[in-house]
Every structure is written in C-alpha cells, then in structure tokens.
C-alpha cells in the first residue's frame, strides 16, 4: 500500500471522530470529498493565463470571489475543518488536468515570518503542502524563510507590492540542496503574483530547475485586463 492509499485510510478513520465538512458552507460531506455538491457548482474554476515572473508556469484552482473568499478568510483565522485538504485537492486536480502532477520533485510552501507564525499558530500554505505531498506522492519542505514582516500587501499597488517584498525571502540554511529540482511552490491566494514571483526568483537563484507556482484561488484584477476570458497582465 502506498502513501496516498494509507493517507486515505487515515482520513476515513479520523472522519469517524471529526466528520468532514465543506469549507464553504460547513455541511457534512464524505470523508474524501473537498466541497459539497452545491458549493462545487458555485466555485468558478480559474481559466486565466496569468504569468508569474521567474516561475515557469502558474496554475490556480478557482477565482477568489464569493464563497471561495469567505472560505479562505476563515482558513486564515482557524485551521479546523476541511479547508487545507479541500484547497490542496483542487490544486492537485488542476495539476493532473494539465499533465503537471508528475512534473515536480519537491513541494515548497510560501512561508510566514516567525512572528506571524507564532500569532496564528500555523502556516496555512504549509498545511496545504502537507496534504499535497500525499495527493501527488512528492515530499514537501519548508525551504524558504520569510525574513521580516512587510506592510500589509492589500493596501499597496502592484509596483509597491513588488518593492515591499524585495529581498524578503531566503533559502533556509537547513534546507536540502534544491539545485536541479523541479519545485511546486504553493500559496493560498494569488493577487498580483508579487509573492510567488519573489519566492520563485529566490528558488531559481538557489538552482531550482523549474518552478510551478500554484495558488488555490486567483483574484480577479479590477485594475488590469485580467478577467475570466483569460487576459494576461504580468
């Protein structure tokens, strides 16, 4: 029995104690389902073609709006429930659809600063990466370190966001050598892509062969041409 099969059995057993719920509406769902049927219909799959500088590819599972936005915001406040499994599940689905599920050697989550991690108690993208390692049967590692707190990205323009993040990520001295590795870089939400771009650049400088930047949800850019028809902006 391989790791994904073992993990599936683990989820089944855990669901007897903690029944699985839909991250959007909190309705009870099957132990290995991501969202309930009603919410699945409402979630708009991402069909854009956004480009992340320094990354070889960018994929996202859905658009950041409506019930998805509420589920992500809840995920940042509490790690209970099915959120990280469901978000990882949708990313894995898109990777399979695009033939990219075996195009990676290592899963790397976008890190939080030590201060933010101690405040929140968990890194939401690390929880997603931990689930993805079972779904893709690929290891994960906290390769990146976020050095210092930055100004809240939400309040900044696209160019200010890039400047705000300049030099904020480094490769951990404890990390395994990533030279020649194909990295799957994970974030929960991608807005302008500054975070994924900055992290991709650091991974490439450390010798990563390729970087696939993956987010659960992509915001719809109101100030650019990015929209559901898939215009590109960056």
Residues contributing to the site for Zn ion (CB under 5 A): 22, 24-25, 27, 36, 39
Q: Which two tokens stand for residue 79?
A: 């790690």
Q: Are strands 106-109 and 182-190 parallel, antiparallel or unpaired?
A: parallel
Task: Find the shortest distance in angstroms from Cβ 83 to Zn ion.
Answer: 12
Task: Find the shortest distance in angstroms from Cβ 80 to Zn ion.
Answer: 16
What distance, in Å, lies between the first and last C-alpha atoms of the chain?
44
Closer to Zn ion by Cβ: residue 39 or 221? 39
Residue 36, classed as helix, strand or coil, is coil
Closer to Zn ion by Cβ: residue 86 or 106? 86
Task: Find the shortest distance in angstroms from Cβ 67 to Zn ion.
Answer: 7
Task: Find the shortest distance in angstroms from Cβ 21 to Zn ion.
Answer: 8
Closer to Zn ion by Cβ: residue 22 or 144? 22
Whether 231 contacts 225, CB under 8 Å: yes
Give the helix, strand, coil percentages of the chain, each rounded to 5. 40, 15, 45
Closer to Zn ion by Cβ: residue 22 or 59? 22
């Amino acid at each position: 029995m391989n790791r994904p099969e073992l993990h599936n059995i683990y989820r089944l057993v855990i669901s007897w104690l903690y029944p699985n719920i839909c991250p959007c509406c909190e309705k009870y769902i099957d132990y290995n389902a991501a969202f309930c049927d009603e919410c699945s219909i409402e979630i708009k799959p991402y069909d854009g073609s956004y480009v992340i500088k320094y990354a070889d590819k960018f994929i996202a599972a859905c658009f950041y709006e409506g019930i998805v936005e509420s589920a992500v915001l809840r995920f940042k406040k509490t790690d209970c429930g099915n959120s990280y499994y469901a978000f990882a599940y949708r990313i894995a689905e898109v990777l399979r659809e695009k033939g990219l599920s075996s195009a990676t050697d290592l899963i790397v989550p976008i890190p939080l600063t030590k201060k933010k991690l101690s405040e929140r108690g968990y890194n939401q993208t690390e929880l997603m990466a931990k689930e993805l390692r079972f779904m893709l049967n690929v290891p994960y590692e906290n390769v990146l370190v976020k050095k210092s707190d930055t100004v809240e990205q939400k309040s900044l323009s696209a160019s200010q966001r890039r400047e705000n993040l300049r030099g904020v990520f480094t490769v951990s001295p404890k990390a395994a050598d990533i030279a020649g590795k194909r990295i799957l870089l994970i974030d929960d939400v991608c807005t302008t892509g500054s975070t994924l771009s900055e992290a991709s650049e650091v991974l490439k400088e450390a010798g990563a062969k390729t970087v696939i930047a993956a987010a659960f949800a992509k915001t719809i850019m109101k100030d650019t041409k990015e929209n559901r028809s898939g215009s590109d902006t960056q």
